Structure 1
């Protein structure tokens, strides 16, 4: 199995593209920021067994691994490539049965918004889904809508995968995403990152 690797804007994260589905087309990604959170994914657990792995993000067709700053990629990349190849070749389930794929769910469900607020949130979600998520997925990350505060106009987004902890994530959030949302949705005043 040939697994392509790609650098990301976050020097501590690397994108692994195995050339086959990981979660499958249309699946929302799943972020595992700690070893404990990886209990629902045998693949993520396997990757956390490599010394220096600090986070795993599973996308539809890629895996992003975040390492400790003190660890060099040249020391752990071969082990990660081997672990991913062995796991996927064996045909093992990537996530445990019944695990819902998608840590990309809003913290506040769409049903909790009413009237004009709901229309605003639908616009925000549409823009994030069609314009933001594909771009950040190309960099091995994800940005997910969590909440909109109608009174203040603040949009809360969660950054995952390579985007979490990326040195340029604040600039991406403020200069890119915030400006775009403010342009298309006048009710948006600012964008903030949440865990």
Structure 2
């Protein structure tokens, strides 16, 4: 069984902190609790409400968001909360009793957007789907870890599936045009999510045999590598995510000063995206890390 690690992430609201999990916490849906009585079907939420500074708790598949009262600052208590959640999960305790829970779940909307890659359509949603970006090249890959991706591959025109935080990018074969099928796919995804079915049952490991990055590697980066990764996260990823794509740091060679990045989703296999992103990333990194970057190599995921 995979050990659960909890990492801390700030949000735009300084009273709310996200506690991200490396394993799946619940099978589907999301749950919000404003007090201990509402949390009767979530033993974990009830335990957290015993902390006097906890105001509200939001639980989804990959993270727990907690809003605090102003009686404390997060910097003073966040590590203890993360350790408490880790210990609770490590003991095999139930996060949410989903079979009996009657807590009202969020309304789910799914919208379709075109991308710069004509073969790829982006399906955005107001529901958090995953904390770790995952990409599947075929139904066999999907069957190992993502029931949602596996179900999408049952459409005969689906070639690849990329799942990110709040959207799914689907690459099609040339046998159909998106205008003929996007509405059907959008409806299918929405109904799947509304039914609370499993999105990802486990986070897949990186496939190193065929050099395909199925997920962004979770490693402790240092030095220039860490700086490159931070720059990509802050300046590049938000822009490409808007078009249904993703960029993941792969490696940095200190001797040659060559950076390798992986393009996923709508960016993967799109010649214009590859050239534009490579040049744009290269210029940005050279400007922000002078004399440390000689070239950026863009690989398709």
1:8 equivalent in alignment to 2:115: yes
Q: Which residue of 1 aligns with 2:251?
A: 147
Distance 2:254 2:175 in 1: 42
Q: Which residue of 1 aligns with 2:138?
A: 34
Return 68-77 or 139-148, whichever deviates more: 68-77
Distance 1:170 1:60 in 2: 22
Given that residues 132 and 203 in structure 2 are in contact (C-alpha distance below 8 angstroms), is that contact kept between their aligned partners in structure 1?
A: no
User: CA-to-partner distance for each residue in 1:85-110, whole Å, 9 max, x for gaps?
Assistant: 221011011001x325970116xx44
Q: Which residue of 1 aligns with 2:223?
A: 119
TM-score (normalised: structure 1): 0.86
1:58 equivalent in alignment to 2:163: yes
RMSD: 1.8
Return the offset for 1:32: 1.2
Q: Which residue of 2 aligns with 1:80?
A: 185
Q: Alignment partner for residue 242 of structure 2, among 130, 134, 138?
A: 138
Residue correspondences, number? 183
| Bigger proportion of residues as helix | 1
Give matches, 1:178-189, under 5 Å.
Answer: 178-186=282-290, 187-189=292-294
Q: Which has the larger radius of gyration?
A: 2
TM-score (normalised: structure 2): 0.57
**3-state secondary structure, aligned to 2:156:** coil
Distance 1:33 1:188 in 2: 31
**3-state secondary structure, aligned to 2:142:** helix
Distance 1:100 1:33, change over 3 A: closer
Distance 1:100 1:34, change over 3 A: closer
Return the offset for 1:172: 2.2
Q: Which residue of 2 aligns with 1:115?
A: none
Q: Which residue of 1 aligns with 2:97?
A: none
Q: Which residue of 2 aligns with 1:21?
A: 128
User: CA-to-partner distance for each residue in 1:133-156, whole Å, 9 max, x for gaps?
Assistant: 111111101000011011111101
Return the offset for 1:166: 1.4
1:89 equivalent in alignment to 2:201: no
